[in-house]
Amino acid sequence: MNNGTAEFDLDMTLDSSDSSEAVFEGGDGVMTDDFLDDDGGLVAVEDEYQFSVFFEFVVPGALLNTIGLLGLVGNIISVVVLSRPQMKSSINVILIGLASADSILIVTSILMFGLPAVNAYNANLFTYYRYDIFPYITQFVYPVGMIAQTGSVYLTLCVTVERYVAVCLPLKARSICTYTRACAYVAVIAVFSTVYNLPRFWEVTWQTMHYAGYSVNETLVVPTSLRNDEVYISVYMTWLYLVVMYLVPFLSLAVFNLWIYLEVRRANSERARLTRLQQKEIGLATMLMVVVFVFFVCNVLALVVNILEVMSINVMELNNTSNLLVTLNSSVNFIIYCIFGDKFKRIFLRMFCSSVLKAGGHIEFINRYQAGEQSQMGRMGAGGVSGGSQMMAAIVAGGVGGGDTLGNGNTASAVLTSELSSYATMGRRATRNYSLAQQHSTLFASSR
């Protein structure tokens, strides 16, 4: 991908030369002595051919299409799971936006690179797409892919900032990390990504060429005068892209994740004193640090490619590998959520795998989770009753021995009645939830 993580290498698309001929032919269009041994036999031609096939078909064709399709399914499942009412939170709104942007990026990568690479290797596959669809949609698929790539980068940064506030600035998290604000952040990033990439819509077009010798017409993707403008290439496509898509997000991600890592490390050393909410925030921060780490690994090669292109060095093998890594980055988040997100995994299993687990007799995991919920609810019920008794004793003592503080006996009685009513309600609610959990567990046991 030219100029960065997901910028499509249109120079490769516009190049009509046959790469297979370049493998077997020398500069004059004939086989040179470099491929012959002392007996006139072929040397290293097979290795060169296999090398070419790997980077021109296996990487951009077979691997990119396979990983992309699997990632597209994973992203769709992620959006479905994260959209459940019990998953409603500010961070999940951003993750839904990230999964959506990644899905669009995967589709555009397949359309721009995956299918044409298969056709270039086997002319009988996707021929209609290559000659009758691809030239006409590239003008729109290319900028849409760039918009999705920009949104993916900055939504990843937004996730990191949200976790930084939740973990390192917990007192400000309630006002900053809200569901409404998260929706606004996603909308702002979408608008910014679209506006920043608007010039991409005028970079390429299509043109029909007539070959008189063959009496055929062929429609090709061709660059516009804007894309050939040296100032535009230098300022917008090179330096501005380097700053907006690499320097700003990469440095910001590095700094924020360093702060988060230090806070997580400090919190883990004091884990016994953390509240359940704090432990949940730390666990979520750890999962999203893995997401950012994968982002760095999959995009560092694209940064190298971009720097090389500033130096007018273009390596096809690096470009195709970079495209594959970018597609992998957009496809792997679902796996990370399943590994590190316990709640995500539970809801996913309930929604998509419950019948399979029952049929295979592997429902023990869900049963253990239900048993854990029952135990927790039982502790809540007991805590509500014992807490009410303790509060009653304290209020009675305050009403009898501290009458001057409460003002009079009637006020003390009113406070006592109010507190007892509150704790009685809490105890009844916990007991009712515990009873429902028992019934739910009985239904699970009978279904087996």
Query: Do the beta carbons of residue 365 and residue 349 sit within 8 Å?
Result: yes
Residue 174 confidence (pLDDT) above 70 = yes
Cα 102–chain centre separation:
6
Whether residue 331 contacts residue 68, with contact meaning beta carbons closer than 8 Å, is answered with yes
Please, what is the Cα angle at 339 between 336 and 342, to 5 degrees? 115
DSSP 310-347: HTT---HHHHHHHHHHHHHHHHSHHHHHHHH-HHHHHH
Query: Is 0.75 topped by the overall pTM?
Result: no
- Number of C-beta neighbours around residue 290 at 10 A: 15
User: What pLDDT is recorded for position 9?
Assistant: 53
Amino acid at residue number 176: I
**Better-predicted residue by pLDDT, 372 or 149:** 149
| Selected residue with higher pLDDT from 5 and 426 | 426
Per-residue pLDDT reduced to its tens digit, 378-405: 444 444 444 444 443 343 333 433 333 3
Q: Label the pairing between strands 204-211 and 216-223.
A: antiparallel
The three state secondary structure string of 40-67 is CCECCHHHHHHHHHHHHHHHHHHHHHHH
Cβ neighbours of residue 135 closer than 8 Å, sequence gap 6 or more: 206, 219, 220, 221
Q: What is the pLDDT of residue 103?
A: 97
What was the pLDDT predicted at 273? 67
d(CA 17, CA 3): 22
> Residue 446: what pLDDT?
38
**Residue 147 predicted with pLDDT over 80:** yes
The pair of structure tokens assigned to 389 is 């008794």
- Predicted pLDDT of residue 395: 35
Percent of the chain with pLDDT over 70: 67
Paired with 36 in beta bridges are 42
Q: How many CA atoms lie within 13 A of 447 on its CB side?
A: 18
Q: What was the pLDDT predicted at 381?
A: 47
The 10s digit of each residue's pLDDT in 121-140 is 888 888 899 888 999 999 99
Contact present, 168 and 260 (Cβ < 8 Å): yes
Question: How do residues 189-230 score in pLDDT, each as one tens digit?
Answer: 999 999 999 999 999 999 988 877 777 888 889 999 999 999
Residues 76-91, mean pLDDT to the nearest whole number: 94
Give the separation between CA 180 and CA 175, rounded to whole angstroms.
10
- Residue 325 is predicted with a pLDDT of 95
DSSP string, 150-184: HHHHHHHHHHHHHHHHHHH-HHHHHHHS-HHHHHH
Residue type, 69: L
- For residue 209, the cross-strand partners are 218
Q: What is the dihedral of CA 329, 333, 334, 337, to 10 degrees?
A: 160
Please determine, for residue 5, whether its predicted confidence score (pLDDT) is greater than 50.
no
Distance CA 334, CA 341 (A): 10
Question: 189 and 132 in contact (C-beta within 8 Å)?
Answer: no
Placement of tokens 């976790």 in the chain: 163
Rounded CA separation 192/203 (Å)? 19
Exposure b/e, 54-71, CB count within 10 A at least 16 = b: ebbbbbbbebbbebbeeb
**pLDDT tens-digit series, residues 331-377:** 999 999 998 888 899 999 989 887 766 665 555 555 554 445 444 44
Q: So what's the pLDDT on residue 123?
A: 81
Q: Residue 360's pLDDT is what?
A: 56
Show the DSSP H helices in 55-133 as ranges: 64-82, 90-109, 115-121, 127-128
What letter would DSSP give residue 84?
Answer: S
Q: Among 105-119, 131-145, 248-262, 432-446, which is the least confidently predicted range?
A: 432-446
Residue 63 CA, distance from chain mean position: 19
- Please write the tens of the pLDDT for every residue from 16-68: 334 433 333 333 434 444 444 455 455 556 667 677 788 888 999 999 999 99
Token couple for 355: 């019948």
Identify which has the larger pLDDT, 322 or 386.
322
Is residue 95 predicted with pLDDT exceeding 90? Answer: yes
